[in-house]
Amino acid sequence: MRLVNLMCGAYHKQFRCLSSKITEEVSKLLALKAQQGTDKDEKAGGKFVLKTAKGTRDFNPRQMVIRQQAFDKIIACFKRHGAETLDTPVFELKEVLTGKYGEDSKLIYDLADQGGELLSLRYDLTVPFARFLAMNKVGSIKRYQLGKVYRRDNPAMTKGRFREFFQCDFDIAGPTDPMIPDVECVRVVTEILDSLDLSEHVVKINHRKILDGLFEACGVPETQFRAICSSVDKLDNSPWEDVRREMTDEKGLDPEKADQIGQYVLRSGQDDLVEQLLADTKLCSSKSAVEGLEALKLFFRYAELYGVKKRVKFDMSLARGLDYYTGIIYEAVLTNQNPEEGVGSIAGGGRYDNLVALFDPKAKAVPCVGVSIGIERILAILENREVNLKMRTVETQVYVAAAQKNLLEDRMKICTELWDIGIKTEMSYKANPKLLGQLQTCEEQGIPWAIIIGQSELEKGVVKLRHVVSRHEEEIERTKLADVLKEKLSAPVF
């Protein structure tokens, strides 16, 4: 008869041994199978499909450990920069989200109208943060927030793109002198990616005023700025020819103007490019462009002082879709050429000086800048890396085992004693478990110490203390058990 402990062990082992590749393939097949099953089952009135909602997933204990370790590092960085945290509800009044996300608004999840308010799931943490600032009349705060957000996007779960996913946001709100907090946000991103050993990354930057100025200088009508900007945004994944075609054929832009845009948006560099552009008379005919370029000049100066300049790339094609950005925009991408770790955006953000005013009854503006770390993609990489690593998902320090039958009550008493002094203690849930099974549990779960009790030893007033890894055993006086364990457990971990 197998014991519950053994099953527990097997469960752990299972999670340890499966590579996430396999897990992924299996879940794809299962999903497919489930999907095929749907029609038949539904018609037959049978059981429903056993799955999570499209684009969402469970996290098993192993994934949770990896996730928590990453969160701890991210939060440590946010605190190192003086941020405090807050929390907002997972849904907002629908109208709070309306008109903030440009073309992406169609991806917002709405709640059913069950009488009462019209509600939507939050699409990011930024808009609820701005709502919080206006509602509580907070004029200045440095805050971080970790939370799930929701987008009815086409999920690409293998690439870490989900419909429910975590964002880790850091924002600095309140009046400041130019660019000081803007550069600190980049510093925060690089500190975090470094601490997660994702060191090969680059933070692409651009400035909304440069984009606007560029369109102005190239003769794009102001009404078309947003549409053309959204085309430029696609240079990420599409060649210039396709983007140009979209501008001219779909959006009706004069081909000559498109070509002028092409001469700018394909360029990237550092402060040298800023200087070149400041000498470009056509671009500098736009006041907006000059302002943006001067801002980036300052940005590079501060980036040098904050030790992050080598990580920054001024990329004139970086546009970012969201409506609310007003100044600098960022996007961090991994440059690692390991194809398994993929390439793609893992953090993004920018300055949004007018968002809070949209919520304030008196339209009072609170300038803000912030960055959002997209943790799912990072987790996918970390999970793949640590797939063969032995990892504990429980922290149990002591396992109370019985060598014979009829010792349940004695095991319970010892557990109580150890819980009382804060020692992480477990025992079998069987009344009369076999010793071998109990010891196997200890080994499989990496529990460092086992107490083994027997009738004759208890009568002598002693118990056995077993060091699980070395299998070394010593006899301890029952009355001194708690003290001995306290001492052993305060010693360095082995």
- The residue from 61, 219, 239, 461 that contacts a copy of itself (CB under 8 A) is 61
- The residue from 39, 177, 222, 241 that contacts a copy of itself (CB under 8 A) is 177
Q: CB of 162: closest distance to a copy of itself in angstroms?
A: 9
Piece of 126-134, 202-210, 312-320, 483-491 that binds a copy of itself (CB under 8 A): 126-134
Side chain identity at 262, as an amino acid letter? G
Residue 242 within binding range of a copy of itself, rule CB under 8 A: no
- The residue from 394, 403, 435, 458 that contacts a copy of itself (CB under 8 A) is 394
- Per the DSSP assignment, residues forming a β-bridge with 371 are 170, 349
Report yes or no: 132 and 86 within 8 Å, Cβ to Cβ: yes
Residue 253 within binding range of a copy of itself, rule CB under 8 A: no
Of 76 and 436, nearer to a copy of itself (C-beta) is 76
Whole-angstrom distance, CA of residue 137 vs CA of residue 368: 14
Residue 152: is it exposed, middle or buried by C-beta count within 10 angstroms (0-12/13-18/19+)? middle
Residue 422: is it exposed, middle or buried by C-beta count within 10 angstroms (0-12/13-18/19+)? exposed
Token pair belonging to 387: 């797939």
Binding mask 261-280 for a copy of itself (x = CB under 8 A): --------------------
Q: CB of 215: closest distance to a copy of itself in angstroms?
A: 31
Residue 99 within binding range of a copy of itself, rule CB under 8 A: no
Residue 20 within binding range of a copy of itself, rule CB under 8 A: no
Binding mask 335-364 for a copy of itself (x = CB under 8 A): ------------------------x-x---
Binding mask 364-393 for a copy of itself (x = CB under 8 A): -----------------------------x
Neighbours of 320 (CB within 10 A): 23
Of 56 and 248, nearer to a copy of itself (C-beta) is 56
Piece of 210-218, 310-318, 335-343, 428-436 that binds a copy of itself (CB under 8 A): 428-436
Residue 395 within binding range of a copy of itself, rule CB under 8 A: yes
- The residue from 22, 36, 89, 250 that contacts a copy of itself (CB under 8 A) is 89
Question: First and final CA of the chain: distance in angstroms?
Answer: 33
Residue 377: is it exposed, middle or buried by C-beta count within 10 angstroms (0-12/13-18/19+)? buried
Of 132 and 324, nearer to a copy of itself (C-beta) is 132
Q: Strands 312-315 and 449-453: what pairing?
A: unpaired
Q: Strands 201-207 and 312-315: what pairing?
A: parallel
The answer for residues whose C-beta is within 8 angstroms of residue 68's C-beta and 6 or more apart is none
Token pair belonging to 242: 């396709």
Residue 84 within binding range of a copy of itself, rule CB under 8 A: yes
